[in-house]
Amino acid sequence: MSTPTLPPTVAAHVPTELLIDGVWRPAASGRRFEVADPATTQVLFEVADAGPEDALAALTAADSAREEWRAVSPRARAELLRAVFEEMRAHAEDLAALVTAEGGKPLAESRAEVAYAADYVRWYSEQAVRLDGLARRAPAGGAHQLVLRRPVGPALLITPWNFPIAMIARKMAPALAAGCPVIVKPAQLAPLTTAYVAEMVRAELEARGLPAGVLGILPSSSAGALTTPLLADPRLRKLSFTGSTEVGRILLRSAAQSVLRTSMELGGNAPFLVFDDADIPAAVEGALAAKMRNSGQTCVAANRFLVHESVAAEFTDGLTAAFDRLVMGHGATPGTTAGPLIEAAAVERVAAAVAAAVDGGARVRSGGHRPRGAGYFYAPTVLENVSPDDLVVTEEVFGPVAPVMTFATEGEAVALANGTEFGLVAYAYTRDVGRVMRLVESVETGMLGINRGMVSDASAPFGGVKSSGLGREGGEAGIEEYLETVYVAL
Residue 108, classified by CB atoms within 10 Å of its CB into exposed (0-12), middle (13-18) or buried (19+), is middle
Residue among 268 and 449 whose Cβ is closer to ligand ADP: 268
In whole angstroms, give the CA distance from residue 406 to residue 384. Answer: 9
Q: What is the dihedral of CA 319, 324, 328, 332, to 10 degrees?
A: -70
**467, 474, 175: which is closest to 299 by C-alpha?**
467
Query: Can residue 165 be called a binding residue for ligand ADP (CB under 6 A)?
Result: no
Shortest distance (Å) from residue 29 CB to ligand ADP: 17
Tally of helices (H runs) and strands (E runs) in the chain: 16, 22
Residue 67 neighbours by CB distance under 10 Å: 10
By residue count, the chain amounts to 490
Quick check: 222 binds ligand ADP (CB under 6 A)?
A: no
The stretch near ligand ADP (CB under 6 A) out of 243-251, 378-386, 409-417, 435-443 is 243-251
Q: 297 or 385, CB closer to ligand ADP?
A: 297
Indicate the residue among 29 and 409 with the shorter CB distance to ligand ADP. 29
Q: Are 487 and 145 in contact (CB under 8 A)?
A: yes
CB 272, CB 305: distance < 8 Å? yes
Task: Kindly tell me which residue out of 110, 127, 227, 420 binds ligand ADP, with binding defined by CB under 6 A.
Answer: 227
Which of the following is catalytic: 265, 396, 410, 481? Answer: 265
Beta carbon nearer to ligand ADP, 251 or 301: 251
Shortest distance in whole angstroms from residue 161 CB to ligand ADP: 6
- Taking the complex as a whole, the smallest distance from the CB of residue 370 to ligand ADP amounts, in Å, to 20
Does residue 198 bind ligand ADP (CB under 6 A)? no
Angle in degrees, CA 312, 448, 294, rounded to 5: 75
Taking the least distance from each CB to ligand ADP, the nearer of 85 and 398 is 398
At 285 the three-state DSSP class reads: helix
160 touching ligand ADP, by CB under 6 A: yes
- Contact range with ligand ADP by CB under 6 A, out of 76-84, 180-188, 349-357, 430-438: 180-188
- Of 149, 185, 238, 261, the one binding ligand ADP by CB under 6 A: 185
Instruction: Examine the residue annotation and report whether 265 is marked as an active-site residue of this protein.
Output: yes
Least distance to ligand ADP, CB of residue 397, Å: 12
Cα 308 vs. chain centroid, distance in angstroms?
Answer: 31
CA–CA separation, 63 vs 69, rounded Å?
Answer: 10
Of 231 and 284, the one with the shorter C-beta distance to ligand ADP is: 231
Binding span for ligand ADP by CB under 6 A among 20-28, 78-86, 223-231, 441-449:
223-231
Q: How many CB atoms lie within 10 A of CB 225?
A: 14
Nearest residue (beta carbon) to ligand ADP: 243
For residues 204 and 176, give the distance between their C-alpha atoms in angstroms, rounded to a whole number.
Answer: 13
- Binding segment toward ligand ADP, per CB under 6 A, in 41-49, 208-216, 246-254, 440-448: 246-254
Q: Is 253 in the site for ligand ADP (CB under 6 A)?
A: no
Residues 51, 243, 331, 471: which binds ligand ADP (CB under 6 A)? 243
Identify residue 70 by its one-letter amino acid code. Answer: R
* CA dist., res. 183 & res. 231, Å (int): 12
Estimate to the nearest angstrom the gap between the alpha carbon of 341 and the chain centroid.
16
Q: Is 380 in the site for ligand ADP (CB under 6 A)?
A: no
Q: How far is CA 343 from CA 37, 144, 324, 374, in A?
A: 9, 59, 23, 12
- Minimum CB separation of residue 482 from ligand ADP in Å reads 19
* Strand pairing category for 134-137 and 144-151: antiparallel
Beta strands 401-407; 302-308: pairing state: parallel
Phi, psi of 240 (to 5 degrees): -125, 125
Asked if 440 contacts 394 with a C-beta cutoff of 8 angstroms, the reply is no
**Alpha carbon distance 374, 372 (integer Å):** 7
223: contact with ligand ADP by CB under 6 A:
yes
Q: Residues in contact with ligand ADP, total (CB under 6 A)?
A: 15
Residue 418 Cβ vs ligand ADP, minimum distance, rounded to whole Å: 23
What does 301-324 look like in DSSP terms, one character per residue?
SEEEEEEETTTHHHHHHHHHHHHH
Q: Residue 152 or 299: which CB sits closer to ligand ADP?
A: 299
What 3-state class would DSSP assign to 384?
strand
Nearer to ligand ADP, 247 or 424 (CB): 247
Q: Could you tell me whether strands 23-25 and 302-308 are parallel, antiparallel, or unpaired per DSSP bridges?
A: unpaired
Q: What mask of x and - would describe binding to ligand ADP in positions 50 to 89, judged by CB under 6 A?
A: ----------------------------------------
Strands of 246-301, DSSP E: 261-265, 270-274
Q: How far is the CB of 466 from ligand ADP (least distance, A)?
A: 17
At closest approach, how far in Å is the CB of 293 from ligand ADP?
15
**CA gap 68, 209 in Å, rounded:** 11
Asked if 166 interacts with ligand ADP (CB under 6 A), we say no
Select from 98, 101, 118, 187 the one that contacts ligand ADP (CB under 6 A): 187
- Span interacting with ligand ADP, options 197-205, 245-253, 257-265, 375-383, rule CB under 6 A: 245-253
Pick the catalytic residue from 199, 299, 396, 473.
299
**Could you say which of 16, 64, 145, 244 contacts ligand ADP (CB under 6 A)?**
244
Q: Smallest distance, Å, CB 36 to ligand ADP?
A: 15
What residue ranges bind ligand ADP (CB under 6 A)?
Answer: 158-161, 185, 187-188, 223-224, 227, 243-244, 247, 250-251
The catalytic residue positions are 265, 299
